[in-house]
Amino acid sequence: MVFGYHHGKVLPLSDTLIMAMNITDPKNPEIIDHPIKSSYIGDYFRLLTRGSYFIAAMHSKFMPAFAVTDIPVAPDLNSRDFHEAKRIKFLLADGHLRSHEQMDNLSLPYEKSENLHTTFSLNKEEESWLPVFLRLFRNTEVYMSLKYEMIPNFDDFNYLFEDII
C-alpha cells in the first residue's frame, strides 16, 4: 500500500510509481526497467523472484520513499507452493513537509503501521543503496519520461541527486 501525507491527513495514494532494483548480487545491481503504479486505493503488486531488492515509491506531488527487502522464496506454480506476498507499505510526504517530526505517530487507514517506509526514514542499508539506485535510475527510459513528460516538477527532486554522480 502507498499512502500520502498531505495537510495533516494520511490517505491512500494512487498513481504512485513503484520501481525495483535487484540487489541480490551486490556487485551487479540491476534496475528492473518496467515500473508499476499503485491503484486508485493505493494498492500495488510487484512480482519479484527470490532475492534482495531496493524498492522506490515516487509520486509527482510527494517526496519519494525507499525500502530494501528480501524475498526468501517465490511461488512455484508447478508444485502449488503458494504463500502470502511480502507487504511493503510506503508513506510519502507532500513537497511542503521537510521534517519527519510532523509525521511521527501517524495511524494509517485500514492498515497496521508496521513495516512502514516513509520519506524521512532510511535505515543504513537503504541509505547505502540509494546513491546506486539513483545513478542507475538516471539511465532508464522511466527517468527520461518522468523528467520530460510525466512529472512537471521533477526538478524539485534534485536534492536526491546532489553529490551522487
pLDDT tens column, 18-54: 999 999 999 999 999 888 999 999 998 887 888 999 9
pLDDT greater at residue 148 or residue 106:
148
Q: What is the pLDDT of residue 164?
A: 39
Average pLDDT over residues 55-70: 90
Give the model's pLDDT for residue 157: 55
pLDDT at 160 over 70: no
Amino acid letter, 121: S
For residues 132-153, average pLDDT = 74
Provide the residue type at 125 as one letter: E
Tell me which CATH code domain 2-76+83-157 carries: 2.60.40.1120
Which SS3 state, helix, strand or coil, does residue 8 take?
Answer: coil
Q: Residues 123-147, buried b or exposed e (16+ Cβ, 10 A)?
A: eeebeebbebbbebbeebebbeebe
Residue 137 predicted with pLDDT over 90: no
Q: What is the pLDDT of residue 165?
A: 35
- Give residue 155's pLDDT: 55
pLDDT value at position 9?
Answer: 84
For the stretch 77-123, pLDDT in tens is 787 777 777 888 999 988 665 555 455 555 555 555 566 788 777 88
Name residue, grid cell 553529490: 163
Task: Record the cell numbers describing residue 103, joined without a space.
Answer: 509525521
Classify residue 76 by its DSSP letter.
Answer: B
Question: Which of 162, 73, 55, 61 is closest to 117 using CA atoms?
Answer: 55
Is the pLDDT higher at 81 or at 7? 7
Q: Against a cut of 0.85, is the pTM above it?
A: no
Tell me if 44 sits within 8 A of 20, measured CB to CB: no
